[in-house]
Amino acid sequence: MSEKKRLTLTGNKMPDHVYTKLEKLGTERTLTPYICSLIEKEEKMDSLIDNLSFLINKLNSVENIVIEIHQKLENTTIHTGSNESESIIIPVENIREGRLEISNHVEGGIEEEIEERDF
């Protein structure tokens, strides 16, 4: 097993409140676990920050795609009619909300013979 050496902290190079806290933890014999937990938290924070940068880049890409789609939709026209010679071109920005009308004339349907049965 390898021998672990002791570390020394220079107290005159740290703020008083930091020195006081570290001195208290040293007296309570909890300084080592405290420093280990700080380093583990720092590693987790670094990992989160790296992943956050990746997510921000992905979000910017999605935002650019949405902007492109929005621009394409603004320039889109709707063709009406069954073929292009009958088609009327309506720019999308000119479409207004209207009323819904239901026709009494129905086109299409299914024709089948139904036998009447007496049970």
Residue predicted with more confidence, 103 or 90:
103
* Three-state DSSP string of 59-108: HHHHHHHHHHHHHHHHCCEEEECCCCCCCEEEEHHHCCCCCCCCCCCCCC
Whether 118 maps to a domain, the answer reads no
CA separation, residue 99 to residues 67, 78, 106 (Å) = 31, 19, 19
Whether 54 maps to a domain, the answer reads yes
Residue predicted with more confidence, 115 or 1:
115
Residue span of the structural domain in which 37 resides: 11-94
Whether 30 maps to a domain, the answer reads yes
Whether 104 maps to a domain, the answer reads no
Tally of domains in the chain = 1
* ∠ Cα 48 50 52 (to 5°): 65
Give residue 7's pLDDT.
80
Percent of the chain with pLDDT strictly greater than 70: 78
Give residue 104's pLDDT.
78
**pTM for the complete prediction?**
0.44
Segment among 8-12, 27-31, 75-79 with least mean pLDDT: 75-79
